[in-house]
Amino acid sequence: MGQLAEDARALMAATADVAGEKVGEARKRLAAAVQRLAARGGQVDLIGWARSVEIGACRAGLLASGDITVAARMLSFDGRVIGGLSAADRLKALLPFSVSRAYADLRRSVGAQLLPSPNFAV
């Protein structure tokens, strides 16, 4: 058997080992989550979940646009209440994030540069 075939076989075996470890870790996390859910009497806070998802979506929109005024304008067009949050509530949640270290770190991690907004004269 050639060296390439041996290397491929070793790589496949190592990949299977890692995948098996990941499955085991995922099962442990799932079991812990089920135990926490059972401890709460099986109650799931779907409104809280929807609220968290919506705030995350707003943050992703801000990250994609790179401009809080653009994100605010897009929210102003959306009259829906999602997870109990109006567009104004979502903007209130987004503003502190827009000046946070977490947002700056995310921008850096995706390679975005902090440039002046085209909406403001410099």
* Same domain, residue pair 34 and 50: no
* Same domain, residue pair 32 and 64: no
* Same domain, residue pair 81 and 54: yes
* Same domain, residue pair 80 and 100: yes
* Same domain, residue pair 8 and 32: yes
66 assigned to some structural domain: yes
- Tokens 């949640």 sit at which residue? 93
Structural domain boundaries enclosing 103: 46-109
pTM of the predicted protein model: 0.63
12-34 pLDDT tens trace: 777 776 677 777 787 788 788 88
Give the number of domains in the chain: 2
- Length of the chain in residues, anyone? 122
46-55 pLDDT tens trace: 888 899 999 9
> What's the mean pLDDT in 81-108?
92
What b-and-e string marks burial along 77-92, b requiring 16 or more CB atoms within 10 Å of the CB?
eeeeebbebebebbbe
Q: Give pLDDT, residue 113.
A: 63
Is 11's pLDDT higher than 50? yes
Dihedral, 59, 85, 44, 23 alpha carbons, nearest 10? -10
pLDDT, averaged across the chain: 82
85 assigned to some structural domain: yes
